[in-house]
Structure 1
């Protein structure tokens, strides 16, 4: 009996020790995403496939709905890392922030919105937009700036040639379009496909195909967090890179099965079709490097929209060290 009791005690002590070691090796990361979208499929893959856990990270995801609220969460300490458009880091930098946000891992490399028409338009041409009632996105946000950039490239002045409405909150745009008298709207997936499936809209064009490569959504963190958590940021980037590789190597159907828990109200076939649409236009970055050409394209789009507050150098707000390290492993 004594031997049994002694063995039991040793086992319990060992398990407690092992649990303590595992706990000590796990770093908790609070991650804020600007919205919930299939556009961020690699992020959900990293969570569901356990790539963060493999790096010793416990990532808690929160959806903060909008660029302003996401950056507020990051800058106030409500989140350690944010997935949001790179333009937000430029806005913060221009305000002379002492602890501004650094872009360190790119997730998407094109615009992720699609032009949805109220009525079917199999022979759509961009000039069809002239004089239309157009439900736009938030002023100063990437969707709206890219939208304006594309329209201007097609000879359309969005503020002179359209009846442009921009006073609807991001989360309420799909409902407003479906119930209102708007003729066109700019939407992400799977919302665009859901409206199409319900007969309330029809996808007629892709802003991502028209605008070229830009650092559309990027993981960023404050300078101070990066300096104090260098190893954690590298591990986070490595997990994202694993997910990017997995997404590139697998079919839209397989990706949809993995990330389905994040889109429980959307049919699996529709998820797969939406993911395939993003894959076909190379929206998902295949590595976390945000290169200088993309950064300059971003600034050109912001400048064209009249929203570039300062000519922020690439080297000031972009850190590719982590991406380059994990890619060389």
Structure 2
């Protein structure tokens, strides 16, 4: 009887140990992503999720919206998320603070600014000088939308802090509502909000900051250097899934992409989704490869320097690891 009890106990321990191993294995293949906002601008990410590209690589992805660059980076540094989808400038800010465990960019998702200049009134024959003396509803200081916006204005001979009234004290999530309620003559908006305002007659898209500011590693997947060191195979699989999704978006129509990402934008009309995707495709906002390009990185440094947010220039190799993107491309 005693031998039987021991045998049963041993079997129970084996099963418990096996279950623990299985649970650990599942956890090891789980990646928690924090996206800085929910946006059509990130369409390839939602395609990767909906088309099962992460699953094909053996990964389970948990996506959460962390609402803002500061919150996203805090979540990454604290370990609340494994990977952040946020502007590459945040990795530079962390580096400038002397982080012992720097944040490394390993896969680019978008390669231009994603905002558009929206005018309250129709502006046929628009000229950038029309902004002088106007009230401009801008973005958060130090964030990529605002820096790219200021970079563009300066390129056209406009000082954003003296040639117009620049409003920057409104939270990102409330900017569209503020404009709709009457604040500002011009505003900087992402899609699909820009197209929604056009349809509703609340604004008119008159220029693209993405086109004007040039190629930038605008939104990038990044993680801590220590995480990469401990999870190289996982990071490679992640980059593979993103490459598959980027290729899929380039090879399919805006309507097909809109249909695929619709579950992430349940309150947005399909036609608006499709027109937003089309607009981003036409200006080359969706990166065709997760690889970060040196010229685009240097342009980012120029944009940050122009905004007074760069303490010193940082080489691409210091804060980016392109090995995963290059392997994914093969």
Shorter chain as denominator, the TM-score bin is: over 0.9
Per-residue deviation, 1:194? 1.2
CA-to-aligned-CA distance 1:179-209 (integer Å, 9 cap, x gap): 0231000010011111221111111110011
Q: 2:29 aligns with which of 22, 27, 42?
A: 27
- Indicate the residue corresponding to 1:72 in structure 2: 74
- Indicate the residue corresponding to 1:230 in structure 2: 232
Residue 179 of structure 2: SS of its match in structure 1? Answer: helix
Query: Is contact 1:27-1:57 (8 Å) kept?
Result: yes
- Indicate the residue corresponding to 1:3 in structure 2: none
- Indicate the residue corresponding to 1:307 in structure 2: 309
The answer on 1:282 being equivalent to 2:261 is: no
- Indicate the residue corresponding to 2:171 in structure 1: 169
Query: Is contact 2:57-2:241 (8 Å) kept?
Result: yes
Count of aligned residue pairs for this structure pair: 313
Consecutive unaligned residues of structure 1, counting only runs of 5 or more, are 1-12
Residue 258 of structure 1: SS of its match in structure 2? Answer: helix
Q: 1:25 to 1:55 in 2, by over 3 A?
A: farther
Q: Which moved more, 1:231-240 or 1:302-311?
A: 302-311
CA-to-aligned-CA distance 1:27-68 (integer Å, 9 cap, x gap): 100000001111000000000000000001100000011110
Q: 1:252 to 1:297 in 2, by over 3 A?
A: same
The answer on 1:116 being equivalent to 2:118 is: yes
Length-normalised TM-score, structure 2: 0.92
CA-to-aligned-CA distance 1:57-84 (integer Å, 9 cap, x gap): 1000000111100100100001100000
Q: Aligned partners of 2:104 and 2:170: how far apart in 1?
A: 30
- Indicate the residue corresponding to 1:258 in structure 2: 260
Consecutive unaligned residues of structure 2, counting only runs of 5 or more, are 1-14
Residue 312 of structure 1: SS of its match in structure 2? Answer: coil
Query: Is contact 2:150-2:160 (8 Å) kept?
Result: yes
- Indicate the residue corresponding to 1:100 in structure 2: 102
Q: Aligned partners of 2:23 and 2:102: how far apart in 1?
A: 34
Q: Aligned partners of 2:23 and 2:243: how far apart in 1?
A: 27
- Indicate the residue corresponding to 2:135 in structure 1: 133
- Indicate the residue corresponding to 1:8 in structure 2: none
- Indicate the residue corresponding to 1:9 in structure 2: none
1:237-256 alignment runs, 5 A limit:
237-256=239-258
Q: Aligned partners of 2:28 and 2:314: how far apart in 1?
A: 36
Query: Is contact 2:137-2:183 (8 Å) kept?
Result: no
Per-residue deviation, 1:24? 4.6
CA-to-aligned-CA distance 1:92-111 (integer Å, 9 cap, x gap): 00000111110000000011
